[in-house]
Amino acid sequence: MATAYVLINCEIGSEQKVIDQIKLIDGVKEVRGVFGAYDILAKIETASSEKLRETITWKIRKIDRIRSTLTLMGIDGQE
Amino acid sequence: MSTAYFLINARLNHEAEIIEKVKSALKKSNVSSFEVQGTFGVYDIIVKISAADDDVLRKIVLEKIRKIENIESAITMMVNEEQE
């Protein structure tokens, strides 16, 4: 099992639209709008890190109105 | 219910120790739920805390998390409860 947290900045005012689109993606366990340095935080869990990479590169990063993403890969054994 | 995420930078080689300290501090406090995960990337540790309200959450952060040694920096992000 591979886990990643993706911190997202999106265009102003489009947070809810982006959140709604992220929710539809397979492997997304959690997605929340946040105040602070980032706008949205998503937690993704997939069977392999390869699948995780595909989900982030091809699904999340393709969403319109997302300006930047920052990925934190979970470390096994540090939880 | 209020929830916040914390992005923590640890002093090198102190990641595992901080994770243990965060976990034991939170177990002893009145949080509703929490999650701690060590990560690769710009930040070393991500922590999610849910508590009864903002005041409880703020108190826990100030008194428990920010007191832990070897934390270089911590960024707090409050969850916007209206966006789900």
- The complex's ipTM works out to 0.89
What's this model's pTM, rounded to 2 decimal places?
A: 0.92
Tens of pLDDT, residues A13-64: 999 999 999 999 999 999 999 999 999 999 999 999 999 999 999 999 999 9
Q: How far apart are CA B73 and CA A20, in angstroms?
A: 31
Residue to test with chain A: of B3, B9, B40, most A Cβ within 10 A: B40
DSSP 8-state class, residue A3: E
Tens of pLDDT, residues B2-56: 999 999 999 999 999 999 999 999 999 989 999 999 999 999 999 999 999 999 9
Residue to test with chain A: of B17, B39, B61, most A Cβ within 10 A: B39
The answer for A 5-24 residues in CB contact with B (under 8 A) is 5, 7, 15-16, 19
pLDDT band with cut points at 50, 70 and 90 for residue A79: confident
Alpha-helical regions (H) of chain A: 15-23, 49-54
Provide, as residue numbers in chain A, all residues whose Cβ is less than 8 Å from the Cβ of B15: 78
